[in-house]
């Protein structure tokens, strides 16, 4: 888990320095949000409310939006 947090922080530093992320959002918030969205996607598949490919697409889109990317 420490590796994940370190990589999230690195992504945050690189992205904020290139003006791609809002520097007001701390890296720990972005990492926690990413983890929570991953758990939500898995729960939707496990409950039968989404197919795995639908959940993967929703997860990708959601994470990109959280990180400030334009719509894919």
Can you read off the two tokens belonging to residue 31?
């990492």
Separation CA 35–CA 69 (nearest Å): 18
Q: What is the pLDDT of residues 20-72, one digit of tens each?
A: 667 777 878 888 898 899 999 999 999 999 999 999 999 988 888 887 766 55
Please say whether the beta carbons of 33 and 66 come within 8 A. yes
pTM: 0.71
What is the 8-class DSSP label of residue 50? S
Neighbours of 34 (CB within 10 A): 18
Q: What is the pLDDT of residue 70?
A: 61
Q: Which residue has the higher pLDDT, 13 or 4?
A: 13
């Amino acid at each position: 888990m420490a590796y994940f947090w370190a990589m999230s922080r690195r992504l945050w530093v690189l992205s904020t320095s290139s003006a791609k992320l809002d520097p007001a959002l701390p890296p720990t918030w972005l990492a926690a949000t990413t983890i929570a969205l991953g758990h939500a996607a898995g729960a939707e598949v496990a409950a039968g409310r989404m197919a795995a490919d639908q959940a993967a697409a929703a997860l990708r889109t959601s994470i990109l939006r959280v990180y400030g990317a334009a719509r894919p």
